[in-house]
Structures are given as C-alpha cells and as structure tokens.
Structure 1
Amino acid sequence: MLPEVTATRYVTPLREGGSLPGIVEADDLGTYVMKFTGAGQGRKTLVAEVICGQLGRRLGLRVPDLVRIQLDPVIGLAEPDEEVQDLLKASGGLNLGMDYLPGSLGFDPLAFGVGPAEAGHVVWFDALIGNVDRSWRNPNMLVWHGRLWLIDHGATMIWHHSWRGADAVAAKPYDASDHALAPFDPDVAAAAEALAPRVTEELLTEVAADVPDEWLVDEPGFDSPDAVRRRYVELLLERAATISGRITLGDQRPPNGDKPSQAPEWLRIWVEGKASE
C-alpha cells in the first residue's frame, strides 16, 4: 500500500496540466504535486498514475514517489481562484500525491541528451502502458540532478475508459514516431529483452494492489475492486509479451519500413549532429 499523509497547506496551483494539479505540503513535512479526484478526468487518471508510476519504478525507471493524500478542502479557503476553490471542494478525502522535485527543469532535447539504451527503455515502457502523452510537444519528463525523470501518466491505458472494447484497444500497435525520445535512436529491441521478462503476473498484481479500493468501486461490469485490478493485470501482461514487435519508431529504423519521425526537422538535425560529435 502507498504511504498515506494528510495535506496541511495548499501552496499553489500548477497550470501546465489540464487537470490543474497543485503543490501542497503535508504532515510528514514533505512537499507534493497533488492530483485531485474532483478534476475533470476523474479517478481513472489517478488509477493510471498509480499503476504506471509504480510499474515504471519497479522496472528501474525514475518516477517520483507516490503517496495517498487525505485532503480537507478547508486548507484552500485562502486561495483566490474560484476554479481552484471548486476543485478542492470536489476533492475532499483521498487524493494522490507525487514527490515534488525542487529545482527540476522540464526536459529540453537541446540541453539534455539521452542515450539509446535509456531512450529505448522509456519508449518500450510507454508502448506497454499505451502512453499517448509523451510527445516532443509535451514531453512529461523532468531533468533533476542531471537525470531524466518521468511524470504525468494519467493519459495512459486508455482502454480502461471503455472496458467493453478493452481487448481491441489494448492490442493496438504503438506509434512512437511523435515520441519525445524518438530522435535519440532508442534501442527498443534491447529494452524489450531486458524489461519484458520482468513484467510478470506477480509484479503486476503487486502494482495493482497499490490502487485504493475507493477509486475502483462501482466500476461498471465488475463486482469488486479486486476484479478490476485483475483486468489491469491481464491486459498489461498480454501486452508486455507482444508489444515490442508493434512499435513504430520513425526514421531511426528505416529498414523496418517505419514512418518518418514527427519531431520537427530542427530537432532531428540537432540530435543527429550531437550523435556524430
């Protein structure tokens, strides 16, 4: 189970994301980026954050630590923004927090290079979870203490928004031609060899167990939170075994007939120039 803390002060909203996360302080003296159950995307965004964040960490990727955060909306009474006030009022109770990385910078491919091995691990992981939100336009990666960190996994596993068609959606290939790390020649084959065997039923069951029951109850078509967890395990386990052969990388793998990278020309030229130095 994820550690649980109580929010003691609402610091400021973060307006980069559509869900309007906020920075809060908690009773463990920690500072967290908090995502709210009352946000427009709903609790499934938080479920995705937990499953994918915990899975990524277990696979050796750098993802900020997650905690359960209890929220009393009264802590936001001094916040002048009515939108924030409404969000806090709608989110009383259990929410999700991610460890705040002070001084971190948004990933900039012109300032921070990524090797093929690490790029391959990230692309394969995003293919596994069906991440549609790590493009060069919106990388959802931070650089902290000289290392790459992955954030914002709410737009993953889109099949859980319609369980009736989940099998078909989860079986789809992954187009990585627009991925923020596509220009860095990601070694997806090596990543698959290293990571796929580690995505076991036992591991996925442990990861899914970190999702609070409150966010899984009353899911249409399921009779219990454990039944929902089991469905996540089944789909991710099957995808881990097959996705490596269905990733479109772009022009970094022309012999495979992949489509050209969708990154802008200036970015691809710059990366190629750095690689030849």
Structure 2
Amino acid sequence: MPVEIDEFIRRSEQGATEPYICRGVDGKVYFIKGKGAGYDSLVKEWIAGQLALRLGLPVPRFCIVTVPRELYEAGRNGALRDLGSGFLFGSENVENANEMSFVNIQHAPAALKRDIAAFDWWIQNGDRTLTDAGGNPNLLWSETARRLLVIDHNLAFDEEVTLHSQLESHIFRSSLSEVCDHADLQENYNARFEKALMDLPQILGDIPERWHYVDDACTIDINLSLDRVENILKRHRVPAFWKRT
C-alpha cells in the first residue's frame, strides 16, 4: 500500500533532483522525488532499487507514496511547484547518516564493495563516482550502525556508461577490477543477476501507470523504454560483459 504524505517539511539542498522532505501518515520522514525529477527518474529509481534489494544491497526502505492533490495545490505556485500529486517515489530518511567519504571507504566490507561495483555496471549506473578530483558517491554512511547505504539510481540505464568509464571513476573501481580478473566472481554475479531478473515482470508491473508519461494527460511517453531496460539487464549473458577493452 502506498504511504500517504500529509506534511511538507522542506526541500533538500543536496542532490541534483533536490527531493522534497515530507512526513507520511505513518509518522516517518521521506525524501520524495516527483514530477520535477522527471517520471523517467522515478521509474529508474523503482527498478534499480528493487533489483538492489534482490541482490542483498543495503538500500534504505523505499516505497510508492501518494501526495494528496489538496496538499500539492496549496503550494504548487511556490515551494511545492516541482512536487506534483498522486503516486510518487519516496525513500525513508536515515538518521545520523552522511555522504560517504574517503575516510569511511576503508570500513566497508570488501564483498559489499564488489557487490555495489558489479551492480552499478549491470544497471549501467555511472553516477557513483569518487576520485581525488571529487565526485558524487551516492552512498550514505550511517555512523550509528557503522555501515554504508546505497541511494539514488535516477541516472541508471545509461547506455553511454562503459566498463572502461566505470573502471576509471567508480568509487569502488578497484573492486570492479577484481571481478573483471576472476572468472569465479563473474559466474557468481551472473547467477545472482539471473535470479533477480526472475522478478523483473513483477517489478515492472508494480510501476504506477502515471510514471510512464511526461504529462498529466498521459499522452507523451517518457524517454525510457522498458524494452531497453530489459536489454541492458540481459547484457551479462554475453561473454564480453566483463571483458576489459
């Protein structure tokens, strides 16, 4: 069941999409991405997030939320102009969590770093970078739990992302390189990808109809083909998937 939102708190100043921070009727705080982020971004967040869960990645709880039209209308000409109403994407707030830094990387388990690097190559997500020149890791570090959390997949399924680019700029590029050099690791990930793909029809079927369109009249398709998404996710079946070029 979608979580109904009944209170707008503020808009986040972090992240390219500047999500809205709101409270649901369940009393929990959510970072909400709506029409301003683009409905194609919501679709990407939903698919990638669901696949991440099936691979066992530590993803903050996310869900479909519903924003009452009266709440949106009350601020549509001001603070809520980019929020929208109806079904939107919400990610639950994590207390005492900050953006991942070089200092925290050493605390992340080696297996988890490999999992994240392999996952991002699989979904062609080039938006988890960190080098000496800076970057955008899209990972949180929970000081309380002493663990990292995986967030933000609105730029996934990017056909311009290559294995070469991931090996150059991904925050866990050395872990990805390790996978590329070991056939047993590749076989393990290929098997895990296949298992996750078994649920893809259900994942796609749970996407709200509204998210497939740019406009409220639902006449203009978003610039994201679900067939293309599926083809991207099946690339691991090709032997060259893990091959450096």
TM-score normalized by the length of structure 2 = 0.79
Q: CA shift at 1:73, angstroms?
A: 5.3
Give yes or no for contact 1:174–1:246 (8 Å, CA) kept in 2. no
Structure 2 portions without partners, runs of 5+: 214-218
Q: 2:116 — aligned with what? A: 122
Structure 1 portions without partners, runs of 5+: 160-168, 222-227, 249-277
- Matching of residue 195 in structure 1 with residue 195 in structure 2: no
Counterparts in 2 of 1:157 and 1:106: CA distance versus 1, 3 Å: same
Q: CA shift at 1:150, angstroms?
A: 0.6
Letter in 1 for 2:51: L
User: What does 1:1-277 correspond to in 2, within 5 Å?
Assistant: 3-36=1-34, 38-39=35-36, 41-72=37-68, 74-75=70-71, 82=78, 84-88=79-83, 91-113=84-106, 114-136=108-130, 137-144=135-142, 145-159=145-159, 172-176=162-166, 177-183=168-174, 187-188=178-179, 189=182, 191-200=185-194, 201-216=197-212, 229-237=226-234, 239-242=235-238, 244-246=241-243
Counterparts in 2 of 1:75 and 1:102: CA distance versus 1, 3 Å: farther
Counterparts in 2 of 1:233 and 1:133: CA distance versus 1, 3 Å: same
Letter in 2 for 1:154: N
Counterparts in 2 of 1:6 and 1:230: CA distance versus 1, 3 Å: same
Counterparts in 2 of 1:203 and 1:219: CA distance versus 1, 3 Å: farther
Q: Tell me the secondary structure at the aligned position of residue 158 of structure 1.
A: coil
Q: CA shift at 1:14, angstroms?
A: 0.9
How many residues in Structure 1 have an aligned counterpart in Structure 2? 226
Counterparts in 2 of 1:6 and 1:219: CA distance versus 1, 3 Å: same
Deviation track 1:153-178 (CA, whole Å, cap 9, x = no partner) reads 0011125xxxxxxxxx68x5452211
| RMSD between superposed Cα atoms in Å | 3.1
Q: Tell me the secondary structure at the aligned position of residue 113 of structure 2.
A: helix
Deviation track 1:107-162 (CA, whole Å, cap 9, x = no partner) reads 11213413432211111100011111100111000112111111000011125xxx
What is the CA–CA distance in structure 2 between the aligned matches of 1:66 and 1:18, rounded to whole Å? Answer: 19
Q: CA shift at 1:34, angstroms?
A: 0.7
Q: Tell me the secondary structure at the aligned position of residue 155 of structure 1.
A: coil
Letter in 1 for 2:49: G
Letter in 1 for 2:24: A
What is the CA–CA distance in structure 2 between the aligned matches of 1:174 and 1:203, rounded to whole Å? Answer: 29
Give identity over the alignment, percent. Answer: 24
Moved over 6 A (4+): 76-79
Larger mean CA deviation between 64-73 and 6-15 belongs to: 64-73
What is the CA–CA distance in structure 1 between the aligned matches of 2:103 and 2:188, rounded to whole Å? Answer: 28
Q: Tell me the secondary structure at the aligned position of residue 85 of structure 1.
A: coil
Larger mean CA deviation between 26-35 and 133-142 belongs to: 26-35
Letter in 1 for 2:158: I
